[in-house]
Structure 1
Amino acid sequence: MVSNLIQTLYNLIDTYWVSKLGGTDLAAMSLVWPMSFLMIAIGVGFSVAGASLISQYIGAKNYEKAKKVIGNLLIISAVLSIVLGAVGYFAAPTILKLYNLNNEVYIRALGYIQIIFMGLPTMFFMFVFNSIKQGEGDTVSPMIFGGISVAMNIILDPIFIFVFDMGIEGAAWATVISRGIIAFISIASLFFCKGPLRLERGDLKKDGAVILKIVKVGLPSSLGQSMSALGFMVLNGFIISFGDNIMAAFTVGNRINSLVLMPAMGIGSSLAAIVGQNLGADNVKRAKKAIWESVKICTIFMVIGGIIVFIFSNDVVKIFADNPDIIEPGTYYLKLICMSLPLVGYFQIFIGTFQGSGHTLSAMIIMMGRLWLLRIPMIILLTRFEALGEKAIWFSMVGSNFFICLIGLGIFMTGNWQKKIIKGEPEEIEKVETV
C-alpha cells in the first residue's frame, strides 16, 4: 500500500506543481498520459508475467528457474524500452494532431511526452524491479527505493519547473532523472542481495525457452494493458471536446481518486504474489482464503476512503485549482466516482488474482472489456443526450465499473484461475529441493 501511495505521490506532486502553471498545462499533461501508458503497458505486461512465474517457482522452491526468469526479464525490458521509447518519441507529433488541439496545448503536450519517452527505460527497469520483488513477496525494498525516488522528485520538480523556467517540460525531466537514478541502483542491488535469488552474470544469458514462457504469459497482459491505454486515449478525446477546463477537472479528480484507490491497488499487487506462491506450493485452499480476506479489507478501506473524500471533495479540489470552471465539475466528478470506489477495489482484486495465477487472458478480458465493451459504447450513447454534458462521461465510468465487476465475478467463479502455469518440470524441482 505504501509503495502504491509513493507511486500516486509521483502523480500528485507533478499535478500540484504543473497546476501552478495554469489549466492549459494541466490539461496537456493529462491528455498525453495514456500515450505514455500505452508504451509502458507492454513492459508492465511482461513484468506481470515475470512476477507470476517467479512467485510460482518460489512456491515450488525452484530458485534456479526463478533466477533465469529474472535475468531474461531484464533482457526483454532493456530491448523493449529502447525500441518503444524511440517509436513513441517520433510518433507523438502525429498522434497529438489527431486530437485537433489548439497550438498552445499541442506544444506543451508534445514537449512533455517526448521527454517521458526518452526516459522510458528508467520506468521499465523500475517496474521490473518491483515485479521481481513482488514475486518474492518482498514489498519493503520497492517501498524504500520508491520513497527515495519520490523525495528526489519533490526536490527537483520546483527547481526544474520554476527556477530553471522549464515549465511542464521541467516536470517531465524531474520524473525521468529521479526514476533513472533509483532504477540503476535498484537493478544493481539484485546482484548484491543475500539469499537464493541473488543474480550472477550468468543469469543474464538469453534462454529461448524462458523468454517464450514469459512472452506466452505476458502477451495477454500486455495486450490488455495496451488496449486499456488506447481506450483512455479515446476517453480523453471525448473529455477534451468539452474544453480544457473539463480536462483539467478530470485530471485533478483522477489524481485524488488514485490516492484513495492506493490501498486497493496495494492489496491487488500483494494478492498476486500470495496467489502465485500458494498455487506453486499446491495450496489452493490458502489462495482462496487470501482472496476473500482481500475482499473484506478492500471493502473497508474503499468505503471509509470514499466517505472522507466525498465530504471534503470541494476543499481537496481547491488545492489543485482556483478556477471555478475547474472546481465545480472536478468536485462533481470526484463525488460521483467516490460512490463506486468499492467496485474499482474489486476490479483490482480480480486483476491480482488472475495475474498471480498466471491466467493473464482472464485479466486481459476484464481490462479490455471495461473500456471497449462497456465504457466507450456507454459514452457514445449517453453523449447523445446534450443536457448531460460532460456528466455523460462520468456516468459511463461508474456504470462500466459496475458491469465489469459482474463479468469478473463470473470468470472467477469458473475456478479456472486455480490451475498453476508451471508444469512439466518435476525433475528440476526435485533436484533443487534435495540440494
Structure 2
Amino acid sequence: MKKRNKKEMILNGNMYNTLILLSIPIMINNLIQTLYNLADGIWVSKLGSVQFAATSFVWPVNFLFISIGFGLSIAGTSILSQLIGGDKYEDANRYAEQIVVISMLISIIFAAIGYLLSPYLIKIMGAKGDLAKYSNIYLRITFLDMPFMFLFFNFNSIMTAQGNTLIPTILSGISALLNAILDPIFIFTLDMGIAGAAIATLLSRVVLAIAGMIVLYKFETIIRPSFKEFKFEREKIFKIIDVALPSSIGQSGSALGFMVLNGFIASYGTSTMAAYGMVNRITSLVMQPASGIGAALTSIVGQNIGANQMDRVKEAFRKALVFTVTLGIIGCMFMLWKDKGIINFFMRSKDDLEVINQGIEYLRYSALFTPLMGVFSVLQGLFQGAGHTKYSMSMEIGRLWFVRLPMILIFKHFTNIGPTGIWISMSVSNLIVCIYGYLIYRKDTWQQRVVDMETTV
C-alpha cells in the first residue's frame, strides 16, 4: 500500500508537498555526508595543512574513476522511474539486474587499476614532496572502497526510482556515524595519520553496501533483482549505455577538469590548495538542500514522463527552482555575514594563516553565486530524470573546460591578481552554465521518453 501511495503522490499529489517529502531525506543524507566530509577534514587538518591539502588534491582522481558508477546510477534512476511510471515492473527488475552486474564488474577493474596507477597520476598532476607522499597514501586506500561504493549507488538508484529516499538516508547516516567514530581512532589512537582517515572511510562503506543489500532483499520493494537466471541482454545493455554514457562522460570530463584545476591551484602553493578544499566543503554544506531538491526531481520527472504527464514535469521544474533559489539566497546572506567565523571554525590548524585569509576571500566569492548552484542542481535533475543525459553532460564539461579553465589561464598569465583569479573564475562559470542550461530547457528537446513503453518486455 505504501509503495502505491508513493507513486500516487509523485504522479498526482501536490507538487510542493511531493518535492518536500522526497527531497528532505536526500537533503538529510547529503547533509550527513557533507558533515562527515567536514569532520574528516577537521580531523585531518589537525595533522597539518599539507595533509589536509592532500585530501582535496586527490579527490578529482578518485572521482574520475567513480564517474562510471555515477553514470550507471543516474541511468538506473531514469530508466527505472520511467518504467515504474508506465507500470512496467517486470522490465524494471530485469534492467536493475543488468545495471548491478555491469557496475560491479567495472568497479572491481577500476579499483585495481586505480590502486596501481595512483603514484603516477599524482606525479602527472604536479604534486611534489610531502603533498605527493600524503596524496598517494590517501588515494590508494580510497580506491579499495570502489566496489562497495558502486554497490550502494545501485541500491540508491533502485530506491530513488520508486520514490523511496528515506531508507538510503538512514543507512548513510549510520555509515557516516560509524565513520565519525572510526576517524579519530585510526588517525590518532592507532597513530595511522592520513591513512587512518582513508581506512575509516573504507570500513564504513563496506558496512553501508552490505546494509543496502540486506534491505533490498529483506524488505518489500517494487524492484528486487533476483539474478537466478541472469544473462546479459544486449538490447537492455545498449539502452543503459545510451543513457549512462553521456552522464559518465560528463562526470569524468568534470573530474579531469578538476584534476587540471587542482594542478593550477597547487601552482599557487599549499595555502591556496587548502583554502580551496575547505571552502568547497563549506559551500557543499550550504548547498545540500538545493542538491536534495535537484536529486528528488529526478524520480519525479522520470515517473511523470513514463506516465505521459509532461505538464506536471514542467510544474515540478518551476517549483523546484523557486525552492532552490530561495534557499541559495538565504545561504549567501549567512556566509557573507559570518565569513570569518566560519573559516576559523572549520580550519582548526593555525600553522598557516594565509590559508585563513585566502579561505575568507574565496568564501565571499562563492557566497555571491550560491543561488546559481541551486539552479544548476535543478537543471541537472530535470535532464537526468528525463534520461537525456547528454544535456547534463554538456553542462558539466562546458562549465569546466570551456569557461572556468580558460578564465583561470587568462587571469594567471595576463593579470597579477593571484589566487583571486581562481575564485572569480569558479563563480562566473556557474552563471554562464546556468544560462546555457535554461536555453536547453526552452528548446523542449529533452521531453522524449528514453524507454519505449509499447515495446519493452
**Cα distance change of structure 1 residues 427 and 260 upon mapping to structure 2, 3 Å threshold:** closer
Counterpart check, 1:384 vs 2:413: yes
Give the aligned partner of residue 419 of structure 1: 448
CA distance in 1 between counterparts of 2:174 and 2:230 reads 27
Task: Determine which of 125, 130, 140 is the counterpart of 1:114.
Answer: 140
Q: Residue 191 of structure 1 aligns to a residue in which SS?
A: helix
* Structure 1 range deviating more: 208-217 or 48-57: 208-217
CA distance in 1 between counterparts of 2:42 and 2:454 reads 51
CA distance in 1 between counterparts of 2:309 and 2:218 reads 32
Give the aligned partner of residue 241 of structure 2: 215
- Letter matched to residue 158 of structure 1: P
- Letter matched to residue 120 of structure 2: T
The CA deviation at 1:203 is 6.9
Give the aligned partner of residue 431 of structure 1: none
Counterpart check, 1:142 vs 2:168: yes
Equivalence map 1:261-272=2 (5 Å): 261-272=287-298
Task: Determine which of 336, 342, 350 is the counterpart of 1:316.
Answer: 342
The CA deviation at 1:205 is 4.0
Name stretches of at least 5 consecutive residues in structure 1 with no aligned partner: 429-435
> Contact (CA 8 Å) 1:67, 1:203: kept in 2 or not?
no
Provide, for residues 50-79 of structure 1, a one-character-per-residue CA deviation record: whole Å limited to 9, x for no partner: 110010000001011111121111101110
**Cα distance change of structure 1 residues 249 and 196 upon mapping to structure 2, 3 Å threshold:** closer
- Letter matched to residue 304 of structure 2: N
Task: Determine which of 382, 386, 390 is the counterpart of 1:357.
Answer: 386
> Contact (CA 8 Å) 2:162, 2:222: kept in 1 or not?
no
Counterpart check, 1:338 vs 2:367: yes
> Contact (CA 8 Å) 2:79, 2:387: kept in 1 or not?
yes
CA distance in 1 between counterparts of 2:327 and 2:394 reads 26
Q: Residue 400 of structure 2 aligns to a residue in which SS?
A: helix
Counterpart check, 1:96 vs 2:122: yes
Give the aligned partner of residue 32 of structure 2: 6
- Letter matched to residue 207 of structure 2: I
- Letter matched to residue 369 of structure 2: S
Counterpart check, 1:78 vs 2:107: no
Name stretches of at least 5 consecutive residues in structure 2 with no aligned partner: 1-26
TM-score of the pair, normalised by structure 2: 0.91
Counterpart check, 1:240 vs 2:242: no
* Structure 1 range deviating more: 67-76 or 91-100: 91-100
Q: Residue 282 of structure 1 aligns to a residue in which SS?
A: coil
Task: Determine which of 219, 222, 233 is the counterpart of 1:193.
Answer: 219
Give the aligned partner of residue 398 of structure 2: 369
CA distance in 2 between counterparts of 1:289 and 1:424 reads 23
CA distance in 2 between counterparts of 1:60 and 1:222 reads 26
- Letter matched to residue 235 of structure 1: L
Q: Residue 251 of structure 1 aligns to a residue in which SS?
A: helix
* Structure 1 range deviating more: 413-422 or 220-229: 413-422
- Letter matched to residue 325 of structure 1: E
The CA deviation at 1:16 is 1.0
> Contact (CA 8 Å) 1:44, 1:127: kept in 2 or not?
yes
Give the aligned partner of residue 186 of structure 2: 160
Give the aligned partner of residue 432 of structure 2: 403
CA distance in 2 between counterparts of 1:328 and 1:151 reads 31
Counterpart check, 1:60 vs 2:89: no
The CA deviation at 1:45 is 0.6
CA distance in 2 between counterparts of 1:100 and 1:72 reads 39
CA distance in 2 between counterparts of 1:159 and 1:393 reads 36
* Structure 1 range deviating more: 36-45 or 201-210: 201-210
- Letter matched to residue 207 of structure 1: E
Q: Residue 33 of structure 1 aligns to a residue in which SS?
A: helix
Provide, for residues 305-344 of structure 1, a one-character-per-residue CA deviation record: whole Å limited to 9, x for no partner: 1111221121111123223211110011011101001111
Provide, for residues 191-216 of structure 1, a one-character-per-residue CA deviation record: whole Å limited to 9, x for no partner: 22214323324375432222221111
Equivalence map 1:242-281=2 (5 Å): 242-281=268-307
CA distance in 1 between counterparts of 2:287 and 2:422 reads 20
Q: For this pair of structures, how many residues does the alignment match? A: 428
CA distance in 2 between counterparts of 1:126 and 1:312 reads 36
